[in-house]
Amino acid sequence: MRMIWKLVIFALMVSLFIANIPQKVGASVSVSARGAVLMEQESGRVLFEKDAHTKRRIASITKIMTAILAIESGKMNEMVKVSEQATRADGSSVYLKPGEKIKLEHLVYGLMLRSGNDTAVAIAEHVGGSLDGFVFLMNQKAKEIGMLNTHFSNPHGLDDHEDHYSTAYDMALLTRYAMQNKTYQKIARTKNYKAPNPNENWDREWKNKNRLLTKYKYTTGGKTGYTKRAKRTLVTTATKGDMSLIAVTLNASDDWNDHIAMYENSFKTFDMAEVLTKGTIDIKTNKYDQKNLYLKRSIVYPATEEEMDLFSIKYKLNKPGEDWDESEHNGEAVGKAQVFLDGKVVRETPIYYQGGPEKKKGLFDLLKDLFLSVIGVKLHG
């Protein structure tokens, strides 16, 4: 009898232990990918991950970096003379011809929709001055974005270098950055595109290889990739209501369904909570006039129903200097608001001071203003 009770108590202890193990958000999703991540666009919160920080070959999703650098170069309306080297690029191609001139904008569409390796080289040579120059820009931008486990060696993702790699998480960071650019958004969601072809009597017509643009109604963009060594790689974005998501899969045998599964699970599990609303904030303080403290932006954060009650806010205000004059600090940041979820800081935003009444001018200031206005009239008279 004692043995039975011991077994019962042991079983209860095991069940309680299992019940209290922290569960990964979105852990119910099963994907075929070796590496995967699902990130919410606004906050950067990872809603699902699978071996997301392991360095892997990434194939043509490399071209997201190539595209955003081309867009940010400010040269989209420039004509690019296609080199012999560009036309000799292996793999997928839009069949550019040596010496032809084509607008950089058209090359970026060919890059993103048809994954043209020839367009990647042509873009790199024009924007970076050379392939090496452009690769330098790629790695420089990766550092700026915070892609700590990434190294680029070419603008297209072909397996011609051993030190060309990234992670599912880093590629989500890159996509989050790129999706802040409206031109990139437009190109990434384009299903079909026509580019003038000056050497022929017909235009080039390109259809986007990203099947989710037609297969899954919430899809807003993305980039496909494949090489023999990287296998299938895919980045997509999707928006439903006020939630925008980024999905990345590396080495996946069933990537289209992987992405749909991650999206559907997260759209069902999470809501966007407005934790802080922009405008005047109510803080009890003797440091500043509390009526004049405000936030420039709202903070929204994805959370499950169970997490909604776990948010808390802390306000931290700087100590005003001895010579503080409220009339001279309009629009100045004087502290920060911190958003906590279950005791951990997840977002921060500056607190601004909107200034008090303007300081009354003395006689000297009034005479000075009058003198300057008279001088100004004479100079322009």
Active-site amino acid positions: 60, 63, 115
Q: What is the DSSP annotation of 147-174?
A: -TT-B-SSSS--SS-TT-BB-HHHHHHH
By DSSP bridging, strand 332-341 and strand 311-317 are antiparallel
Structure tokens at 131: 């392939």
Report the length, in residues, of the chain. 381
The residue written with tokens 């036309």 in the block is 87
Strand extents, DSSP E, 59-211: 79-81, 101-103, 192-195, 204-207
- Cα separation, 273 vs 304, in Å, equals 9
Six-digit token string for 273: 């909570």
What residues are paired with 221 via a beta bridge?
Answer: 237
Question: Who's near 311: CB < 8 A, 6+ residues apart?
Answer: 273, 275, 301, 303, 339, 340, 341
